[in-house]
Amino acid sequence: MKQARSILAILLFGCAVMAVVDGVIQPGYAIKSLVKLTLFLGLPLWWSRQAKVSLRPLFARPRQGLGWAAGTGAGVFAVILGGFFLTRGIFDFSGLTAALTAGTGVRRENFLWVALYISFVNSLLEEFFFRGFGFLLLRRYLPRRPALGLSCLAFALYHVAMTLGWYGLPVQLLTLAGLALGGWIFCRLDEHSGSLWLSWVVHLGANLATNAIGFLLFAA
């Protein structure tokens, strides 16, 4: 239980600090990324050294499933992008680009580089923190269901806190439910493979879709 408490404390601390950084301090995107890298990578590495627990198995190449994960990622990409086109006449997404510009300094001119970082690097960082550290390791010290639920909840609340004010309440609630479901799917993928690569491939598809939406909104 000592190890479980320390992992949960790092999860909560990382999410809480990033909520303050995103919602209150609102630095530029480069500074925010450095803070997130310190919290989501640095703290687990520190824990690993203190607990003498190797994190290398989290990055082991799965024996099978990468092709299936790539197909699922493509399907997620299509669903998210299709959902945007179906609902843009119902929900108001106009505040998204304004919130990005005001809160993090992301503009049309630098959005390409931010989108590439979010898609490839940030997604891997989140998979390591929420699925690798926050589930695969946590389930060693807690029963499976609590570990799964806590990982999904932390993942969903972190993202909702990060996007407060971007959308209206209906979209926020829909986003919370979708993120919790997505976290559950990611955990199940990693549970079967024992590493975080399958969930990262699917996460990559989701991030590529949301960034494609960002390009469309900036171009509007």
> Between 189 and 44, where is the model more confident?
44
The fraction of the chain above a pLDDT of 70, given in percent, is 89
Identity of the residue numbered 28:
G
Q: Residue 96: its pLDDT value, please?
A: 65
Q: Residue 181: its pLDDT value, please?
A: 87
Rg over alpha carbons for the chain, rounded to the nearest Å, is 17
Average pLDDT over residues 108-133: 90
Q: Residue 167: its pLDDT value, please?
A: 61
When pLDDT is cut at 50, 70 and 90, the band that residue 103 belongs to is low
Residue 186 has pLDDT above 70, yes or no: yes
Residue 90 has pLDDT above 80, yes or no: no
When pLDDT is cut at 50, 70 and 90, the band that residue 17 belongs to is very high
When pLDDT is cut at 50, 70 and 90, the band that residue 150 belongs to is very high
Average pLDDT over residues 34-38: 96
Range from 74-78, 191-195, 201-205 carrying the lowest mean pLDDT: 191-195
Residue 126 has pLDDT above 70, yes or no: yes
Average pLDDT over residues 162-187: 77
Residue 102 has pLDDT above 60, yes or no: no
Q: Residue 100: its pLDDT value, please?
A: 60
When pLDDT is cut at 50, 70 and 90, the band that residue 177 belongs to is confident
Q: Residue 23: its pLDDT value, please?
A: 77
Q: Residue 160: its pLDDT value, please?
A: 76
Residues with Cβ within 8 Å of residue 135, at least 6 apart in sequence:
147, 148, 151, 187, 190, 191
What's the whole-number average pLDDT of the chain? 87
The fraction of the chain above a pLDDT of 90, given in percent, is 50
Q: Residue 34: its pLDDT value, please?
A: 95
